[in-house]
Structure 1
Amino acid sequence: MTEMRPIETWLTDMDGVLVHEEEPIAGAQEFIAALREADVPFLVLTNNSIYTPRDLRVRLLRSGIEVPEESIWTSALATAQFLSDQRPGGSAYVVGEAGLTTALHDVGYVMTERDPDYVVLGETRTYSFESITRAIRLINDGARFLATNPDPSGPSPQGMLPATGSVAALISTATGQTPYFIGKPNPLMMRSALNRLEAHSETTVMVGDRMDTDIISGLEAGMRTVLVSTGSTRPDQVGRFPYRPTMVVDSIADLVPMAKGDDEALTGR
């Protein structure tokens, strides 16, 4: 711990860390404001592929949290970057919404139902039997299967909704093909975020509310990790996992001093 390098960059999850739906979590506004005031590079990460960074910026702003568009990194953006690296200028049949289709268009991908290179499954609030059936047939015909994230469910004002992971399981059962998931807990999402910031894992902290996505992906990417107790994983559940975060705090409010440059607790100084 005494040899840890000072913190130069922050990554933070959005839902459960900064907001609950559109309600801000205490300390979130101050944390982001402190990072911006200190000119510390940061990204807000989300596995949600429905919205574009512009959409998410507006949603956060309505919660009183001002995050620049370029400081938001989604599983859709990470997926588009991955596909652009793997097969530049390729084609895809997409089950998803504007966040995903826009990201793919921006890297030069063509959306098509005829012999696509990939079937890309993202999150949507309107999964249709027709689109899922078409995805199954295209995969059976040889399209590669990719999904933005493995989350089985997601929140809504009305209650829990099935998410990408649940629909991916349905398609996998029908086709016998398992998708490659880009978003957390794949550390690829973290690596792509680090690359976007031109940051080093040893000087970056990942803040999240889930041990099985945020913390493990941050750990596997070589970062220090902070678990907040305002989301999915309760403090009493941490001991059940074979890995531990660097720190467990009550909420993002506890990290405001560190965002201002007082990183003693995480550097061991």
Structure 2
Amino acid sequence: MQKKYKAYFIDLDGTLYRGKEKIPAAARFIARLQAAGIPFLVLTNNTTQTPETVARNLTANYDMKIAPENVYTAGLATADYLKRLNLGKKVYAIGELGLKQAILNQGFSFDEYRPDYVVVGLDWNVTYRKFEKATLAIQRGAKFIGTNADTNLPNERGLVPGAGSVIALVERSTQQKATYVGKPEPIMLEAALAHFGLDKSEAIMVGDNYNTDIMAGINTGVDTLLVYTGYSKPADIEQVAVKPTYEVENLDQWEV
């Protein structure tokens, strides 16, 4: 028996699209949510882009009318987490515009030498000097935050290094484990629940990847909907100890 939910948290790649390929059922799913007036957030571990860029891409290229306020990136979740920790206002960040803009928007300033936090995410232009500054700041006592643990990202060339690979270098150089914010850790999903003021029983996490999207829901105590349009396959799920709450071949099979 399918339960009704007051809010939806939805993954991007593999769920709402596949690379540059449209998933028509996903566009229809978003349209049904909007017609029913059910709030939703698109949750992405990608910290390189701003919500405006993500929303513009979905609207222009994937037949979905998505507003920036419907997008919650791991960059936004990281900035929100720093604010809740309240350990200071100075940050040293390795990352792209999406992460740095989110941090600045929460009232933080950047400091390379005596930061209260070191935040490490995916950086297309990372250098040894950036790693050196991060390592030394953490050794001096800065709180070490990792945006997400994704070791690889798929693109047309194959599986390239992701944020988790960048963060791992700093973990090795400092002998410290980062606090991770993005999926599958619960921090991001807990913040999304707080955004709507909902209990975890009132929302559902929708995604194609059991290891990130579905485990984020399981780790947070939120129901999950696994859609077989991307990464995980039915054979994979036969082996897991904790099953998704629901499984569908595509999002046309789900009633909002």
With normalisation by structure 1, the TM-score equals 0.90
Q: Is the 8 A contact 1:43 1:73 kept in 2?
A: yes
Q: For 2:52, give the aligned amino acid.
A: R
Structure 1: gaps of 5 or more residues: 260-269
| Structure 1 position 89, deviation (Å) | 5.2
Q: For 2:25, give the aligned amino acid.
A: G
SS in 1 for 2:92: strand
Q: What is residue 8 of structure 1 aligned with on the other side?
A: 6
1:129-140 residue pairs with structure 2 within 5 A?
129-140=128-139
Q: What is residue 265 of structure 1 aligned with on the other side?
A: none
Which structure's relative contact order is higher, taking Cα pairs within 8 Å and 6+ residues apart?
Answer: 1
**Take 1:8 and 1:209, find their aligned partners in 2: how far apart are those partners?**
21
**Take 1:142 and 1:86, find their aligned partners in 2: how far apart are those partners?**
15
**Take 1:22 and 1:223, find their aligned partners in 2: how far apart are those partners?**
29
Q: What is residue 73 of structure 1 aligned with on the other side?
A: 72
CA deviation digits over 1:101-120, x for unaligned, max 9? 11111111111102101110
Question: Do residues 182 (structure 1) and 181 (structure 2) align?
Answer: yes
CA deviation digits over 1:228-267, x for unaligned, max 9? 1122211101122211001111122322xx12xxxxxxxx
| Structure 1 position 86, deviation (Å) | 0.8
Q: Is the 8 A contact 1:22 1:60 kept in 2?
A: no
**Take 1:220 and 1:174, find their aligned partners in 2: how far apart are those partners?**
29
Structure 2: gaps of 5 or more residues: none
CA deviation digits over 1:161-217, x for unaligned, max 9? 101111111111111011000111111211110111222221211111111221122
**Take 1:85 and 1:8, find their aligned partners in 2: how far apart are those partners?**
25
| Structure 1 position 5, deviation (Å) | 5.5
CA RMSD in angstroms, aligned pairs only:
1.6
| Structure 1 position 83, deviation (Å) | 0.4
| Structure 1 position 88, deviation (Å) | 6.2
**Take 1:124 and 1:81, find their aligned partners in 2: how far apart are those partners?**
20
CA deviation digits over 1:125-157, x for unaligned, max 9? 332222122212222222221011000011223
**Take 2:20 and 2:138, find their aligned partners in 1: how far apart are those partners?**
36
Q: For 1:93, give the aligned amino acid.
A: Y
Q: For 1:10, give the aligned amino acid.
A: Y
Q: Is the 8 A contact 2:45 2:148 kept in 1?
A: yes
Runs of 4+ aligned structure 1 residues displaced above 6 Å come to none
**Take 1:148 and 1:203, find their aligned partners in 2: how far apart are those partners?**
26
Kindly, what percent of the aligned residue pairs are identical? 35
Q: What is residue 243 of structure 2 aligned with on the other side?
A: 244
Q: Is the 8 A contact 2:184 2:219 kept in 1?
A: no
